Amino acid sequence: MSLPLFLHFQTRHAADIRADGIAIISPSFFKPRTAEMLRTYLREVISVAPTMPVYYYHIPSVTGVDVLGRDVLEGIEELIPSFSGVKFSGSDLMDFGQCVSYSQPHWSCLYGVDEQLLAALALGAHGAVGSTYNYMGSHFNELMAAFERGDLVQARTIQFKMQELISYAKKLGFDLGVNKQLMIELSGLSLGPPRLPVMPCAPSVALSIVQKYHSLFP
Ligand SMILES: CC(=O)N[C@@H]([C@@H](O)[C@H](O)[C@H](O)CO)[C@@H](O)CC(=O)C(=O)O
C-alpha cells in the first residue's frame, strides 16, 4: 500500500536523527471510517522505521475522526511490534479507561485534556502531555504529587483552579493563538507570532487571562 511521500520522509527523518519515538495522528482530510483503516495507516507510516517506538495520537476534536481509541488499540501490538502507547487528547474518559485497561506492560497511556487530568490519573494515566503545561507545569506537578500521596483534596483544589482558568479563557476565545500568547507572557520566552490560519491574540485578552491566572495561583 502506498503512503503519501511526505510521511515517508518525515518518518525516515525521525529515524535518521534517532528520535526516541514518533506520535502519529489520524489523517483528517480523507478520514478513516473504521479502526481497521486507521490501524493500517499507522502500520504503513511506521513501516519506514519499524523498530522506532510509536504512539497513536488520539485527538478527535482536531481530526474529526470518530473512531474510539480503544478500538484502534485492538490487536495493534501484533500489527506494530514497536507500538508504545497512546497520547489521548479526547474527553471520553470511558474510552480512555478502556485504553489503560487494554494497555500492555511496556506501553504508556498519556492524557491530554489538561482540565480533566485528575480524573485520568484515577483511571490509571501513566503521564500527561498538554499545551497548558508549557506555562502551568509546576502546578500540575503539584497536582500529580498530591494524587500520588493520596491527598485528593489538594489535587482537586489545583484541578478546580485550572478548570476555572480554562473556562474563563474559553469565554474570551481561548484557541492556539491565545495559548501561544499565554506561553509567551507566563514563561517569559520570546516565541514569535503564530502561523496562519491561527491568528495572534489581542493583548487585552492575554492580559485579562494572565491576571486571572495570577489571582488563582498567587
Ligand atoms: C485540543 C487541544 O488542543 N488539546 C490540547 C490540550 O492541552 C488543551 O489545550 C487543554 O486541555 C485546554 O483545553 C492538547 O491535548 C494538544 C497538545 O498537547 C498538542 O497538540 O501539543
> Which of 67, 68, 42, 38 lies closest to 53, judged by CA?
42
Per-residue pLDDT reduced to its tens digit, 73-99: 999 999 999 999 999 999 999 999 999
Closest ligand 1 atom to 62 CA: 1
Average pLDDT over residues 192-202: 95
Whether residue 10 has pLDDT greater than 80: yes
Strands 54-58 and 22-25: parallel
In single-letter form, the type of residue at position 61 comes to: S
pLDDT for the residue 3: 75
Separation in Å, CA 35 to CA 26, 72, 85, 213 = 10, 5, 16, 40
Please report the DSSP string for 88-129 in residue order. Answer: E--S-HHHHHHHHHH--TT-EEEE--GGGHHHHHHTT--EE-
Q: d(Cα 83, Cα 68) in Å, to the nearest integer?
A: 17
Cell of 76: 495493534
* CB 112 less than 6 A from any atom of ligand 1: yes
Classify residue 102 by burial, with Cβ atoms within 10 Å: 0-12, 13-18, 19+: middle
Secondary structure (DSSP) of 26-83? PPSSS---SHHHHHHHHHHHHTTSTTS-EEEEE-HHHH-----HHHHHTTHHHH-TTE
Higher pLDDT, 167 or 189: 167
CA distance 11 to 45: 7
pLDDT at 58: 98
ipTM of the complex: 0.96
Mutation pick for ligand 1 pocket among 63, 131, 182 (CB with most ligand atoms within 8 Å): 131
Residue 205 has pLDDT above 70, yes or no: yes
CA 90–ligand 1 middle distance (angstroms): 9
- In the chain, what are the domains? 1-130 (3.20.20.70), 133-218 (no CATH)
Q: Which residues, listed in sequence order, are joined to residue 88 by a DSSP beta bridge?
A: 58, 111
Instruction: Indicate which atom in ligand 1 lies nearest the CA of residue 176.
Output: 3
pLDDT of 11-44, one tens digit each? 999 999 999 999 999 999 999 999 999 999 999 9
Q: What is the pLDDT of residue 1?
A: 66
pLDDT over threshold 80, residue 182: yes
User: For ligand 1, is residue 87 a contact (CB within 6 Å)?
Assistant: no
Euclidean distance between CA atoms 169 and 73, whole angstroms:
34
**How many Å lie between the centroid of ligand 1 and the Cα of residue 92?**
14
Q: What's the pTM value of the predicted model, to 2 decimals?
A: 0.95
What pLDDT digit, counting tens, does each position of 45-73 carry?
A: 999 899 999 999 999 999 999 999 999 99
